[in-house]
C-alpha cells in the first residue's frame, strides 16, 4: 500500500536517478584525457617508458594509476618530466549514487509496476552502492588527474646549435 502512494510522487525523481546513473556509466570511464603541448612542438610524450603521443595532443591516461609522470622529449632539447596529481573527484559520490540508482530502478520497476516496497528499493540500492564503491576505487573512477592541460617549454641542450 505504501508503494502505491509512493509511486506517483516519485516518478520524476526516479527518472532523474535513472538518467544520472546511465550518464555516470556512459561518460565516467576510468580514463581521463589530458592535453599536452610543448614549445617547440613535435616533442614525444612518454608515459611508463612507452611513447604515447607527439605534441600537441590529447593523451588518454588511466586514473587508476597512482604515479603518472609524463616525459616530454625532443632531439636537441633537455627532456622535461611532469608528474600528475591524482586527487578525489568531487563528483565521485553523486556518480556512485546515480549509477546505483540507474541499476536499481530498472531492475525493480520494469514490468513490475508500483508493487515494489520502498524498503526493497533501499536494500537493492544499498547493495549496488556497496559493490560500486570498491569498483570505483579499483578502476580509478573516483579520481581526477591534474593538471589536465600541460604546456612545457623545452630548453635547448648546451651542445645543440
**What's the pLDDT at 2?**
47
Under 8 Å between Cβ of 104 and 10 = no
**Burial of residue 152 (number of CB atoms within 10 Å: 0-12, 13-18, 19+):** buried
Model-level pTM? Answer: 0.65
pLDDT for residue 109 is more than 70: no
**What's the pLDDT at 126?**
77
Cα–Cα–Cα angle for 18, 21, 23, rounded to 5 degrees: 110
Q: Please give the grid coordinates belonging to residue 59.
A: 593523451
**What's the pLDDT at 76?**
94
Average pLDDT over residues 27-51: 89
Is 159 a domain residue? no
Count of domains observed in the chain: 1
**What's the pLDDT at 37?**
97
Q: Residue 40: give the domain boundaries.
A: 2-153
Q: Among 103, 62, 75, which residue's Cα sits nearest to residue 160?
A: 75
Q: How does residue 155 score in pLDDT terms, banded at 50, 70 and 90?
A: very high
Q: How does residue 97 score in pLDDT terms, banded at 50, 70 and 90?
A: confident
Q: Please give the grid coordinates belonging to residue 104.
A: 536499481
**What's the pLDDT at 134?**
79
Segment of 13-22, 116-125, 128-137, 146-155 carrying the highest mean pLDDT:
146-155
Residues 21, 36: Cα–Cα separation, whole Å:
31
Residues 2, 158: Cα–Cα separation, whole Å:
78
Average pLDDT over residues 6-10: 53
User: Which of the two residues, 69 and 30, has the higher pLDDT score?
Assistant: 69
**Spatial CB neighbours of 157, under 8 Å, sequence gap ≥ 6:** 76, 77, 78
Neighbours of 71 (CB within 10 A): 16
Is 161 a domain residue? no
What are the counts of helices (DSSP H) followed by strands (DSSP E) for the chain? 3, 8
Q: Which residues of 117-148 are buried (b: 16+ CB within 10 A; e: fewer)?
A: eeeebeebbeebbeebeeebeebbbbbbbeee
Q: What is the mean pLDDT of the chain?
A: 78
**What's the pLDDT at 66?**
85
Is 160 a domain residue? no
Residues 21, 48: Cα–Cα separation, whole Å:
33
Amino acid at each position: 500500500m505504501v508503494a502505491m502512494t509512493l509511486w506517483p510522487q516519485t516518478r520524476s525523481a526516479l527518472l532523474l536517478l535513472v538518467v544520472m546513473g546511465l550518464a555516470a556509466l556512459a561518460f565516467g570511464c576510468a580514463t581521463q584525457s589530458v592535453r599536452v603541448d610543448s614549445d617547440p612542438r613535435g616533442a614525444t610524450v612518454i608515459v611508463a617508458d612507452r611513447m604515447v603521443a607527439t605534441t600537441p595532443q590529447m593523451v588518454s591516461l588511466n586514473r587508476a594509476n597512482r604515479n603518472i609522470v609524463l616525459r616530454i622529449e625532443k632531439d636537441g632539447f633537455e627532456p622535461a618530466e611532469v608528474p600528475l596529481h591524482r586527487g578525489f573527484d568531487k563528483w565521485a559520490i553523486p556518480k556512485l549514487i546515480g549509477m546505483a540508482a540507474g541499476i536499481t530502478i530498472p531492475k525493480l520497476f520494469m514490468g513490475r509496476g508500483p508493487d515494489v516496497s520502498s524498503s526493497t528499493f533501499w536494500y537493492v540500492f544499498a547493495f549496488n552502492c556497496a559493490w560500486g564503491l570498491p569498483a570505483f576505487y579499483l578502476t580509478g573512477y573516483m579520481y581526477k588527474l591534474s593538471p589536465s592541460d600541460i604546456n612545457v617549454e623545452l630548453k635547448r641542450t648546451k651542445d645543440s646549435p
